[in-house]
Amino acid sequence: MDDVRTTLRMAWVDPAIRGLVSRPEFFTAAWSATRPNVTRSFATGAEALRRSAADALDGPLRPPDRRLFQGAVDLSSAERDRLARAIQAVAHSAPKVQLVIQAWAVLARRHRIPGTGREEPPAKRGIPDWQQGLVGLPRSVPPEVEALLDEATVALGVAVTPSILRALAPWPGHLERAWRDLREASAAAEWRQAIAMLRRSATDVLRSLPHPMDLQWDVLVRRGVTEEQREALSDHLTALAAAMPVAVLAAAYVAASFGAYEGTAEGVARPDRGQTEI
């Protein structure tokens, strides 16, 4: 798990990935198949997904301007900083999580991702300095907050709550406002078009990775993974993969709505007007 975190450059392991540790045989084999492909193509592909999601937020999907540093008068400076960095951490990690989960859904169906055969240097590893001190998404929240997260999950039609909403759970007022705006945007036809675009784009990124990805199912069977378990895992990962483009677009939406800075892949960027650099 620590290797996943540092390789994907995330302050925490996203729940969509962390939940798969209940099948350690598959988890370790799938990560071993994926890790060599966290290369320049992976990093640039994830960044392209993030920027595509941000670019989709125009016209009917443009979020209202609820700039964090201008409007969060209920928070201390330290809390505003922590909230902003949590939002940015999710916005930068969500495309990487989408690529991993979408690849694992393919592998769980006994399919192979061929790889291009090109040699590439590995992507930069290690947690970015600006994410230091972030402790992860809350696993336990007050009942009224959990009810709102459940409502959002059902309304968005996904198998797992978008991480950006869970990241807002320690700030219920901001969570409620974000979900109110996001719910309206998600009803638009343009939202569904953006989701389909992100899913197709992720497929293209996976095809551009250098190394083949495959699982030795005969070995996994000997380690106790039955065909019934594989089918259940495949169904679960297919549902997770369908939820990942929603998570990417929702993270971009909330980041834009909260007046988050336009960052690079490493999260180092100029702040928007009225913000402090993080």
Q: For the chain, how are helix, strand and coil distributed in percent, rounded to 5?
A: 65, 0, 35
> Alpha carbon 254 to chain centroid distance?
13
265 — pLDDT class (breaks 50, 70, 90): very low
Give pLDDT, residue 64. 82
The phi and psi torsions of 37 (rounded to 5 degrees) equal: -90, 5
For residue 213, the SS3 value is strand
Mean pLDDT over 83-87 rounds to 90
Give pLDDT, residue 112. 95
- The per-residue DSSP string of 76-113 comes to -HHHHHHHHHHHHHHHHHHHHHHHHHHHHHHHHTT--B
Mean pLDDT over 218-246 rounds to 96
Residue 84 vs residues 17, 33, 75: alpha-carbon distances, Å: 23, 33, 11
Cβ-Cβ contacts under 8 Å for 148 (sequence gap 6 or more): 172, 175, 176, 179
274 — pLDDT class (breaks 50, 70, 90): very low
Give pLDDT, residue 276. 27
Residue 19 CB neighbours (<10 A): 14
Q: What are the structural domain ranges in the chain?
A: 2-257
- What letter would DSSP give residue 274? T
Give pLDDT, residue 150. 97
81 — pLDDT class (breaks 50, 70, 90): confident
167 vs 259, residue with greater confidence: 167
pLDDT value at 213 more than 90: yes
Question: Average pLDDT, whole number, for the chain?
Answer: 89
Give pLDDT, residue 263. 46
pLDDT value at 29 more than 90: yes
Mean pLDDT over 26-40 rounds to 96
Hey, which residues does 122 pair with through a beta bridge? 39
pLDDT value at 79 more than 80: yes
The Cα–Cα gap between 87 and 106 comes to 29
The Cα–Cα gap between 221 and 159 comes to 27
Residue 257 CB neighbours (<10 A): 23
What are the residue ranges of helices labelled H in 121-171?
Answer: 143-156, 163-167
Give pLDDT, residue 98. 98
Mean pLDDT over 128-141 rounds to 88
Q: What percent of the chain has pLDDT over 70?
A: 90
